[in-house]
A and B are shown apart, each in its own frame.
Chain A
Amino acid sequence: MTPEPDLREALLAAVPSLRAFAISLSGQVDKADDLVQDTLLRALANLHRFERGTNLNAWLFTILRNLFHSEYRKLRREVEDPDGSYAGRMKIQPEQGAHLDFEDFRKALAQLPSDQREALLLVGASGFSYEEAASICGCAVGTIKSRVNRARLRLAALLNVDDMDDLGPDSMTRAALQG
């Protein structure tokens, strides 16, 4: 099937949101871009399976999410480290677009279990409904709702703890840097 110009534009238009999702999911810009590239290639190879009129973004997110998880399973031992080397990698370098403002938030996000992080990103940031997120993740709507709720609770706890801890020198450093 020839990708029509419309479709090419639609795929290109989806790249920023796919990248944002992939970066937030994996914590690594390089890996995220590889994921997005693999997603586009797989989408193009399977265009005949895409139902016209359905949500192209949801379809692309499903592909990306599945690619991420099949790779993630291979790397599970490395990635799911309780001592937080994964969280460490979430400290994306400034030239990769992370501002100081989001440093604490990124760290907190990286500490969530991946299923909760994924659900929160889909519903809270990517703009999908609970139903769409459930379809993308291949699970029940109630499961997504529960994951999103737990993700928010955990983030709130993590960030508030940080706020209290940061009443010391770090907030002064921050004030100095922002001043």
Chain B
Amino acid sequence: MTSDKGNKLARALPRTSLNDKLGTDAKLDSGSQKRIGDQLRAMYDELMQQPVPDRFKDLLDQLDKKKEGSK
């Protein structure tokens, strides 16, 4: 199981990366695929965890009020 810090792991184990590179043909091996997937999700999760900017809450609130008023 690769940890969420896939990038760090790759750094810590350069020989693994080298072996993967040498073993990579047109088809990506499952280890590399997993490492890329882990890094992608870790990067993405970090973005997802950012607080929602107020402008979006305000936007939806305003529209709610506008609709209420126009009833």
How many of B's residues come within 8 Å of A, CB to CB? 39
Of chain B, the residue at the smallest CB distance from A105 is B39
Q: Return B53 CB to nearest CB of chain A, in Å.
A: 6
A12-B11 contact given A97-B46, A101-B5, CB 8 Å threshold: no
What secondary structure prevails in chain A residues at the interface with B? helix
B17 touches A160 (CB 8 A): yes
Residue among B32, B47, B48, B50 with max Cβ neighbours from chain A (10 Å): B47
Assembly CA distance A155 to B65 (angstroms):
46
**Which residues of chain B are near A17, meaning CB under 8 Å?**
48
Of A59-67, A74-82, A137-145, A164-172, the segment with at least 4 beta carbons within 8 Å of chain B is: A164-172
Residue among A19, A40, A101, A121 with max Cβ neighbours from chain B (10 Å): A101
- Bin the interface of chain A by size: 35 or more
**Which residues of chain A are near B17, meaning CB under 8 Å?**
159-160, 163-164
Assembly CA distance A171 to B52 (angstroms):
34
Q: Does A120 sit at the interface, judged by CB under 8 A?
A: yes
B26 touches A16 (CB 8 A): no
Partner of A37, one of B32, B41, B59: B59
Q: Return A57 CB to nearest CB of chain B, in Å.
A: 13
Assembly CA distance A101 to B47 (angstroms):
13
A125 touches B41 (CB 8 A): yes
Partner of B64, one of A8, A16, A101, A163: A8
